[in-house]
């Protein structure tokens, strides 16, 4: 019973699906309700300094574990380690 009470149902900001999780494990992202983006982000995906009024009206929005996993996969795809080549002369063992 206590376990069920600890878990709360939330709506993912990214995919709009509902999910339940313990409140202390839910990842959140700060969203400005006026733009629907994190403060400081533009619709073009660029950054600008976030104004204090934008930060003040922003609120933490929950993100579901499936979207976090997708974001981690995308991050790994676009931030893959650089290719390496054998050096010359080959190391002597
Ligand atoms: Zn989601």
Distance from Cα 81 to the centre of ligand 1, integer Å: 27
Please identify which residue in the block is written with the tokens 């878990």: 7
Domain, as residue range, for 72: 2-78
When divided into structural domains, the chain yields a total of 1
H/E segment holding residue 89: none
- Name the DSSP letter for residue 82: P
| pLDDT tens string 11-39 | 999 999 999 999 889 999 999 999 999 99
Where helices occur in the chain by DSSP H, the ranges are: 2-6, 52-57, 65-78
The pTM for the full model equals 0.71
**Residue 84, domain member (yes or no):** no
**Residue 93, domain member (yes or no):** no
Distance from Cα 34 to the centre of ligand 1, integer Å: 21
| pLDDT tens string 40-81 | 999 998 999 999 999 999 999 999 999 999 999 999 999 988
Confidence check: pLDDT of 5 > 80: no
Distance from Cα 25 to the centre of ligand 1, integer Å: 14
């Amino acid at each position: 019973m206590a376990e069920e009470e600890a878990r709360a149902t939330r709506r993912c900001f990214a995919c709009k699906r509902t999910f339940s999780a313990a409140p202390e494990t839910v990842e959140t992202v700060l969203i400005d309700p006026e733009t629907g983006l994190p403060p400081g982000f533009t619709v073009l995906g660029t950054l600008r300094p976030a104004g204090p009024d934008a930060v003040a009206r922003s609120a933490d929005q929950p993100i579901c574990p499936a979207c976090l996993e997708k974001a981690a996969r995308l991050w790994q795809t676009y931030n893959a380690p650089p290719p390496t080549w054998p050096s010359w002369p080959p190391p002597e063992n």
